[in-house]
């Protein structure tokens, strides 16, 4: 198992290299250069060239890429922001908690609502307790995150004034973004839990459990839910990764100093190191979450555990 | 033979969906004494499994309906029993072995725990955790699986071994009634005999009554005291194993079943299968259900439901026996 985990962590390196090359290339070959954006329209060419040289942007593309990668690999140095001249590493450290908290609590909210309601609808299939939540979920799953975010912002900040509309200073700043991000996710997760449970309760081993005389509650939780959990865990992992991306709209909407706003501002200002740093960090996070999901699998399903450790089976 | 353990009276089971109603079991009645073995024989779709599931009250909740009849286990109705009472009966008084050993075990629970669950759910003797584990070891030994492997999971066992685990689960509480639903159909031929022997051996050792559901007449000959031949949801012929295998008179369907088996002592060029297919259970024929395929069908067979005629222990549901010597009408 440990060997498997180490192998998987090493495999993240080529992913990071691929992503970094792709993003770096796109940023470098889009028109414009950082200096002319920083100095504005009226600046003369000499000043622009001078600033680009200072920033190291005058060097050829390959040279810039290689030195960027080697700085990270050798010194964990993510360079300096073109715009603020501050080290990217510090900015990443400052912004990471905001993004993590947002995605983490949104996933928690999605699980807390989606999984129990999903089980309930499956157990009470075809009754009102099934149709009502399923229809509600359909509506919420169809909401775009930014739209729901705007509605929440309008109702709870602007109209009612209960919650702040921007920033990430205290926990209450997170309520609206987490709800806006988590609810559509809860809807997706609920629908998924429902279908996974329905699939599981039809299995032969559920009938075997009944034939032993197991009570319904035990059958649902001990036999059906644990088996249904395997695909649900996958979805939670994928959701977490997707949330990191979805969070862009939310972070911008609520002006939260997270990694996504860093990327978006960076793109606008052609601040290559900012975009690169935040993107790579998000990529690494997603890869780690996927790995975590795979490890959780092994705890739930002995067949997968056997595959990881190469035992018989 | 001991007292009546199970009595199935005029059982009718339908599967109802929005689209159609399937008449799976149409008036089946039989009794089973303590320690007796009954073979339930018939083609796929004859309603054998449905009858078994009805006895266990494990019919699919949404579609399966017991329309008529009663099932008495030790004199008490299973049909009127509450869910709680049924949970006590299942596993403790009656148990079932399913025909799909590959999927009948929970893939993420160790086999030891799956057997232990059965004991734990019916822990009337107040066994401690250690005693339960001891019982698990005992049951595993009984079915010939080393207890050392009880921490392993179903995927680490072969089909034959998994079926033996299923048997161990079924027998863990020493039920009075064991229903074996085609226990060997899904298994390799080489393993079939082994599993059958195990079931027979355990039945003899524990004195369990057994309903052996099968379409294999060879299995019936080896294991059963009594035999019931099922066709389109009803019993067309019942009798002792001797009746079924040696009597000269049979229901045309039973005859057809025997004719479609190759014999070693006769030179047969071609087998004689029963022509045609089982009737559509959503649209059963008016007269005898077998009449569309019956080589001896008379006009009356296509118009009236056949009565039951009996001779000794043999009972046959067929119009042909109305004027047969030695047979008397024994029921509708």
Residue A294 C-alpha, separation from nearest chain B C-alpha, in angstroms: 16
* Residue in B closest to A300 by C-alpha: B108
* Residue in A closest to B59 by C-alpha: A207
What ipTM, to 2 d.p.?
0.86
Asked if the C-beta of A313 comes within 8 angstroms of chain B's C-beta atoms, the answer is yes
What's the average model confidence in pLDDT over B121-150? 90
Cα–Cα nearest to B321, from B303, B305, B309: B309
Range with lowest mean pLDDT among A34-48, A279-293, B280-294: A34-48
Spacing of C-alpha B209 from chain mean position: 12
Instruction: Please provide the average confidence, as pLDDT, over all residues in chain B.
Output: 89
Could you report the per-residue pLDDT of B6-33, keeping only the tens digit for each? 999 999 999 998 889 999 999 999 999 9
Could you tell me the pLDDT band of residue A310, with boundaries at 50, 70 and 90?
A: low
Query: Which pair of tokens denotes residue A134?
Result: 């399923």
Could you tell me the pLDDT band of residue B107, with boundaries at 50, 70 and 90?
A: very high
Most B CBs within 10 Å, among A124, A205, A226, A232, to test the B interface: A205
Structure-model confidence comparison of residues B229 and B45, the more confident one? B229
On whether both B327 and B178 belong to a single domain, the answer is no
Identify any residues that bridge with B314 across adjacent strands, giving them in sequence order.
Answer: B311
Cα–Cα nearest to B71, from B88, B84, B89: B89
Backbone region of residue B87 per phi and psi (left: phi > 0; alpha: psi in -120 to 50; beta: other values): alpha
Altogether, the residues listed in chain B come to a count of 332
Asked if the C-beta of B90 comes within 8 angstroms of chain A's C-beta atoms, the answer is yes
Asked if the C-beta of B58 comes within 8 angstroms of chain A's C-beta atoms, the answer is yes
| CATH classification at residue B84 | 3.40.50.300
Residues in B closer than 8 angstroms to A204, CB to CB, are 98, 100, 103-104
- Asked if B96 and B199 touch (Cβ cutoff 8 Å), the reply is no
On whether both B101 and B212 belong to a single domain, the answer is yes
Is the predicted pLDDT of residue A159 greater than 60, yes or no? Answer: yes
Percent of chain B with pLDDT over 70: 99
- Asked if A182 and A106 touch (Cβ cutoff 8 Å), the reply is yes
What's the average model confidence in pLDDT over B169-176? 90
What's the average model confidence in pLDDT over B290-294? 90
Most A CBs within 10 Å, among B49, B73, B108, to test the A interface: B108
pTM above 0.90, yes or no: no
DSSP class per residue in A133-174:
HHHHHHHHHHS-HHHHHHHHIIIIIIIS--S-SS--SSTHHH
What's the average model confidence in pLDDT over A246-270? 85
Is the predicted pLDDT of residue A65 greater than 80, yes or no? Answer: yes
Is residue A258 packed enough to be buried (19+ CB in 10 Å), middle (13-18) or exposed (0-12)? buried
CA-based torsion, B111, B114, B120, B124: positive or negative: negative
- Asked if A297 and A233 touch (Cβ cutoff 8 Å), the reply is yes
Could you report the per-residue pLDDT of A213-256, keeping only the tens digit for each? 999 899 999 899 999 998 898 888 888 887 877 788 888 888 88
Instruction: Please provide the average confidence, as pLDDT, over all residues in chain A.
Output: 86
Asked if the C-beta of A198 comes within 8 angstroms of chain B's C-beta atoms, the answer is no
Residues in B closer than 8 angstroms to A300, CB to CB, are 108
Q: Is B151 contained in some domain?
A: no
CA torsion B185-B191-B197-B202 (nearest 10°) is: -80
pLDDT at residue B1, rounded to an integer: 47
**Domain range for B268:** 250-331
Is residue B326 packed enough to be buried (19+ CB in 10 Å), middle (13-18) or exposed (0-12)? exposed
What's the average model confidence in pLDDT over A197-205? 91
Could you tell me the pLDDT band of residue A121, with boundaries at 50, 70 and 90?
A: very high
DSSP class per residue in B143-164:
HT--GGGGGS-GGGS-HHHHHH
Asked if the C-beta of A310 comes within 8 angstroms of chain B's C-beta atoms, the answer is no
Three-state DSSP class for residue B211: strand
* Residue in B closest to A230 by C-alpha: B108
pLDDT at residue A311, rounded to an integer: 52
Could you report the per-residue pLDDT of B189-239, keeping only the tens digit for each? 877 888 888 888 888 888 899 999 988 888 888 889 999 999 999 999 999
What's the average model confidence in pLDDT over B259-268? 76
| Cβ contact, residue pair A211, B62, below 8 Å | no
Residue A301 C-alpha, separation from nearest chain B C-alpha, in angstroms: 5
Is the predicted pLDDT of residue A111 greater than 90, yes or no? Answer: yes
Size of interface A-B (CB pairs under 8 A): 80
CA separation (Å) from B158 to B163, B188, B234?
9, 10, 36
Residue B97 C-alpha, separation from nearest chain A C-alpha, in angstroms: 8
Could you tell me the pLDDT band of residue A312, with boundaries at 50, 70 and 90?
A: very low
Could you tell me the pLDDT band of residue A49, with boundaries at 50, 70 and 90?
A: confident
Q: What count of other Cβ atoms lies within 10 Å of the Cβ of residue A222? A: 16
Return all residues near B37 (Cβ < 8 A) that are at least 6 apart.
B203, B209, B210, B211, B212, B223, B224, B225, B226
Residue B298 C-alpha, separation from nearest chain A C-alpha, in angstroms: 43
Asked if the C-beta of A157 comes within 8 angstroms of chain B's C-beta atoms, the answer is no
Could you report the per-residue pLDDT of B49-70, keeping only the tens digit for each? 999 999 999 998 888 999 999 9
Domain count, chain B: 2
pLDDT at residue B201, rounded to an integer: 86
Give the whole-angstrom CA distance, residue A57 versus residue A53. 6
On whether both B103 and B11 belong to a single domain, the answer is yes
Range with lowest mean pLDDT among A165-174, B94-103, B152-161: A165-174
- Asked if B183 and B199 touch (Cβ cutoff 8 Å), the reply is yes
Q: What count of other Cβ atoms lies within 10 Å of the Cβ of residue B235? A: 27
Q: Is B125 contained in some domain?
A: no
* Residue in B closest to A213 by C-alpha: B87
Q: What is the CA radius of gyration of chain B?
A: 21
Q: Is B35 contained in some domain?
A: yes
Range with lowest mean pLDDT among A64-78, A110-124, B8-22: A64-78
Asked if the C-beta of B79 comes within 8 angstroms of chain A's C-beta atoms, the answer is no
CA-based torsion, A230, A236, A237, A242: positive or negative: positive
On whether both B32 and B77 belong to a single domain, the answer is yes
First-last CA distance in chain A: 15
Q: What count of other Cβ atoms lies within 10 Å of the Cβ of residue A255? A: 13
Helix axes B129-143, B189-206, angle to 10 degrees: 130
Identify any residues that bridge with B251 across adjacent strands, giving them in sequence order.
Answer: none
Cα–Cα nearest to A50, from A42, A58, A40: A58
Asked if the C-beta of A312 comes within 8 angstroms of chain B's C-beta atoms, the answer is yes
Could you tell me the pLDDT band of residue B2, with boundaries at 50, 70 and 90?
A: low
**Regarding the domain with residue range A91-309, which homologous superfamily does it belong to in the CATH classification?**
MetI-like (1.10.3720.10)
Spacing of C-alpha B189 from chain mean position: 20
Give the whole-angstrom CA distance, residue B22 versus residue B52. 17
Q: Is B149 contained in some domain?
A: no
Give the whole-angstrom CA distance, residue B233 versus residue B193. 28
On whether both B93 and B196 belong to a single domain, the answer is yes
On whether both B12 and B89 belong to a single domain, the answer is yes
What's the average model confidence in pLDDT over B110-127? 91
To which residue do tokens 């715009």 refer?
A83
Is the predicted pLDDT of residue B266 greater than 80, yes or no? Answer: no
Range with lowest mean pLDDT among A17-26, A85-94, A299-308, B41-50: A299-308
CA separation (Å) from A281 to A16, A97, A101, A106?
9, 12, 15, 19
- Asked if B78 and B71 touch (Cβ cutoff 8 Å), the reply is yes
Residues in A closer than 8 angstroms to B103, CB to CB, are 203-205
On whether both B194 and B269 belong to a single domain, the answer is no
* Residue ranges covered by each domain of chain A: 2-75, 91-309
Q: Is B257 contained in some domain?
A: yes
| Cβ contact, residue pair B108, A208, below 8 Å | no
Give the whole-angstrom CA distance, residue A136 versus residue A139. 5
On whether both B76 and B188 belong to a single domain, the answer is yes
pLDDT at residue A112, rounded to an integer: 94
Q: Where are the beta strands (DSSP E) in A27-130?
A: none
To which residue do tokens 């046959």 refer?
B316
Three-state DSSP class for residue B4: strand
Per DSSP bridges, beta strands B308-311 and B76-77 are unpaired
| Cβ contact, residue pair B107, A126, below 8 Å | no
* Residue in B closest to A211 by C-alpha: B90
On whether both B202 and B302 belong to a single domain, the answer is no
Q: Is B129 contained in some domain?
A: no
Return all residues near A9 (Cβ < 8 A) that are at least 6 apart.
A291
């Amino acid at each position: 198992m440990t060997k498997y985990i180490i192998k998987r962590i090493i495999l993240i390196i080529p992913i990071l290299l691929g992503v970094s090359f792709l993003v770096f290339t796109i940023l470098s070959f889009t028109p414009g250069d950082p200096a002319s954006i920083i100095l504005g329209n009226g600046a003369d060419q000499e000043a622009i060239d001078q600033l680009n040289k200072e920033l190291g942007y005058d060097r050829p593309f390959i040279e810039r890429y290689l030195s960027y990668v080697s700085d990270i690999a050798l010194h964990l140095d993510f360079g300096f922001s073109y715009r603020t001249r501050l080290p990217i590493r510090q900015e990443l450290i400052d912004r990471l908690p905001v993004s993590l908290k947002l995605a983490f609590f949104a996933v928690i909210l999605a699980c807390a609502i989606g999984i129990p309601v999903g089980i309930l609808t499956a157990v009470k299939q075809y009754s009102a307790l099934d149709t009502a939540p399923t229809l509600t979920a359909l509506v919420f799953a169809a909401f775009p995150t930014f739209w729901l975010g705007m509605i929440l912002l309008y109702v709870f900040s602007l109209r009612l004034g209960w919650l702040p509309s921007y920033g990430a200073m205290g926990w209450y700043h997170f309520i609206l973004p987490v709800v806006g991000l988590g609810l559509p996710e809860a809807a997706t997760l609920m629908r998924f839990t429902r279908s996974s449970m329905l699939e599981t309760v039809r299995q032969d081993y559920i009938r075997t459990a009944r034939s032993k005389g197991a009570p319904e509650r035990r059958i649902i939780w001990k036999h059906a839910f644990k088996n249904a959990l395997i695909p649900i865990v996958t979805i939670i992992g994928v959701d977490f990764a997707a949330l990191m991306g979805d969070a862009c709209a939310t972070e911008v909407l609520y002006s939260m100093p997270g990694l996504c706003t860093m990327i978006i501002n960076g793109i606008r200002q052609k601040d290559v190191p900012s975009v690169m740093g935040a993107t790579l960090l998000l990529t690494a996070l997603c890869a780690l979450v996927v790995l975590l999901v795979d490890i959780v699998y092994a705890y739930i399903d002995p067949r997968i555990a056997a595959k990881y450790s190469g035992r018989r089976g | 033979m001991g007292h009546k353990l199970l009595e199935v009276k005029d059982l009718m089971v339908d599967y109802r969906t929005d689209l159609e109603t399937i008449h799976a079991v149409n008036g089946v009645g039989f009794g089973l004494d303590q320690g007796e073995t009954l073979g339930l024989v018939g083609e796929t779709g004859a309603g054998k499994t449905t009858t078994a599931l009805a006895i266990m009250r494990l019919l699919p909740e949404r579609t399966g309906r017991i329309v008529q009849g009663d099932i008495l286990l030790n004199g008490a109705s299973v049909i009127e029993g509450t869910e709680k009472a049924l949970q006590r009966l299942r596993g403790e008084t009656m148990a079932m072995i399913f025909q799909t050993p590959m999927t009948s075990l929970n893939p993420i629970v160790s086999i030891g725990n799956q057997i232990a669950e059965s004991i734990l759910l019916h822990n009337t003797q107040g066994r401690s955790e250690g005693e339960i584990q001891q019982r698990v070891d005992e049951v595993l030994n009984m079915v010939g699986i080393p207890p050392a492997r009880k921490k392993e999971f179903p995927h680490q066992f072969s089909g034959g071994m998994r079926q033996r685990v299923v048997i161990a689960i079924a027998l863990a509480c020493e039920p009075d009634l064991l229903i074996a639903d085609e226990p060997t159909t899904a298994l390799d031929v080489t393993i079939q005999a082994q599993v059958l022997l195990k079931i027979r051996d355990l039945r003899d050792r524990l004195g369990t009554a057994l309903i052996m559901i099968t379409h294999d007449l060879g299995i019936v000959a080896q294991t059963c005291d009594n035999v019931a031949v099922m066709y389109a949801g009803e019993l067309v012929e019942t009798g002792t194993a001797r009746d079924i295998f040696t009597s000269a008179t049979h229901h045309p369907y039973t005859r057809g079943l025997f004719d479609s088996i190759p014999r070693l002592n006769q030179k047969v060029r071609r087998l004689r299968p029963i022509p045609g297919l089982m009737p559509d259970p959503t649209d059963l024929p008016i007269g005898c259900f077998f009449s569309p395929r019956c080589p001896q069908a008379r006009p009356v067979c296509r118009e009236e439901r056949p009565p039951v005629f009996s001779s000794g222990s043999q009972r046959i549901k067929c119009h042909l026996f109305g004027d047969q010597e030695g047979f008397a009408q024994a029921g509708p």
